[in-house]
Chain A
């Protein structure tokens, strides 16, 4: 029987770097990233037996970290709303290597946080973690078409809430 440490070393250790980056890309704040990462490790550790038996253990681990990142994002947005300010990512304040972009990241992150859990996790796994739909479906325990449906619905909701960021949007004058 394999121990938890063995499982950790074989399943999680090889992808520690990927996990760190994927959490930070969503949370975009050092303190929240640390908390979320810690939370993800604890969750993965307590579910090692389940992960070991899973048909795609890495996909399941990535799913756990996608969810903790989303939860951390939601928590920060709630906190910022209470304080009546926008949930600007820390990266805006110069603590980032990439320069500020044209895209309003805070708006996009806010919109992701507003998505239903399943839609958010599928989109994050697909776009941020770049997993295949097959892996996503295995991780969340559904069929591949269902995973695609969740992604489609998530995209539709994002398109609605971020409609004004659509570069193809045009303005018409009513005649």
Chain B
């Protein structure tokens, strides 16, 4: 059985009816007595008492001279007695009292940032998020609509969200606006980006908000949002706040720009609690997108990988209303799954099942207090069963130990995908696709796997003993070979691309890795920005995705470098070539570049 509600729920009428009680005569009489007493008590007194009355009789300058030193003493006393000089109520007021807030938000996993999103929030209830160059989401909570703009393909998706308060990234600001001072944990003061800041921590709707505000101005500097829902070590970081800056309100308009093709997407209204119906709807809409295949896992990363596998990467694929609708459906289904507890015994076995296969169970759980299992089958019917279907045994973690180090590979359940290398010889990666693991193992940009994959995503842990060279790719090759028993061969072809050389040595922004950062190694590449710590120059190959052509490293520069490369993504590839030349001091020439592709030939059965 499913429950669904209509939109026209007249809450005001319900509220009016619930509060339509008459004040009983007896109570009215008591209140009247109370009122009479109150009037009698206040009559001989004057507002503010005798001290205030006396102050009013004095000249203004005498009043100021009398009161000011007392106030100063009180303030100094408060400052000395409490550690933080910043009042949390004042910090919250910064969020409440402004009409516009701009900030940058990024997801960080164990301190490594991923793609930043530029967000602007405009009261009442509007938000604009620049997700990547060319992809923007405008949300109007009052209108209950969102508009997704894909400037690369001149397409727009109008999303009818129903009466929902969700503002996307702006939600975090809304939660802070609603927060109250008094329950915060004070974190003391520290230095951050050259400023002295004071920290506070509060909990809101299952998430922990850590707010750092400038100790002098009380302006928020950074907000970190963490919690179980964001995964272990995962947090959203909001920074670079700009308050009350005038914005062009037309940028928050839900009218698509001229020349854009517009699609409509009617999402499930946000007022309903995610239910089993959401699971069925998500499975159906995803299967329609993926040629009848059900999702191998019921979460957004798996959905993203499936979309990429069927339609190509985000750069080349136009986002359609169906994709948006299916993606939101998956997130609602995932929310339903998250609401279940251990005793509900949730299982998902949709990998390899086709839509319509009525005999194959896809997922099952035992509702709270029920004696029978709810089972969703491949034809998306739901039946009550006395026993749970036999679940395939969960894939066990595999550990590979060699003298060179130890590597563990286990099926991933992480809602995120992230690679962290806290120091040389240590890797902690979650939600990695098998294809990306092959690319890392063979240090190659492209791989073709000639088979359907048995499982999409894995968590990976690597530990190299001290004193050993951190040969992580070699160790990963051994592990993959042992687990999947495949064979490989390479195919090489030439493509028109770019070659980088360095006849004058590294440029000013190409710095040798410093001691301070020697234990950190990472590379974050987004449209318009590449941030590299502790990597060889060859890592520049990652910008080839924005050059739309391969990049060959002929610099001969050895060792590891720290650098940041920025360019205008709207003017790529010319802006990237100019940035490589001007910022890193490299020469860039057009060249035929040999491109090697790894072909993985699996055994007959994975």
Binding site for B on A (CB under 8 A): 1, 3-5, 7-8, 16, 20-21, 24-26, 28, 30, 33-34, 37-38, 41, 45, 48-49, 89, 91, 95-98, 101, 103, 105, 108-109, 112, 116-118, 123, 126-128, 143, 145-146, 148-149, 152-153, 155-160, 162-166, 168-175
Contact = CB atoms under 8 A, between A and B. Distances in A.
Interface size class of B (residues with CB under 8 A): 35 or more
A163 B163 contact: no
Contacts of B39: 8
B278 to A, nearest CB: 12
Nearest to A52: B47
A158 B20 contact: no
Interface string B265-282: 000001111001100100
A5 B24 CA distance: 29
B153 to A, nearest CB: 33
Contacts of B4: 169-170, 172
B15 A158 contact: yes
A103 B14 contact: yes
Given A34-B34, A163-B272, A20 B15 contact: no
Given A28-B19, A168-B8, 16 more contacts: A16-B35, A20-B32, A25-B19, A26-B19, A97-B24, A103-B18, A105-B18, A126-B12, A127-B15, A159-B11, A163-B272, A166-B6, A170-B6, A172-B4, A173-B1, A174-B1
A156 B124 contact: no
A112 B276 CA distance: 28
A169 B6 contact: yes
Interface string B147-177: 0000000000000000111000000000000
A74 to B, nearest CB: 12
A33 B38 contact: no
A148 B124 contact: yes
A127 B19 contact: yes
Contacts of A171: 1-3
A156 B19 contact: no
A30 B24 contact: yes
B124 A146 contact: yes
B358 interface: no
Contact of B5 (A105, A128, A168): A168
A100 B170 CA distance: 43
A10 to B, nearest CB: 13
B23 A143 contact: no
Given A20-B31, A160-B271, A98 B21 contact: yes
B582 interface: no
A174 B14 contact: no
B103 to A, nearest CB: 20
Contacts of A109: 18
Given A26-B19, A127-B15, A174-B1, A49 B28 contact: no
Q: Which of B5, B18, B46 has the most CB of A within 10 A?
A: B18
Nearest to A102: B17
Nearest to A118: B178
B15 A123 contact: yes
A126 B30 CA distance: 27
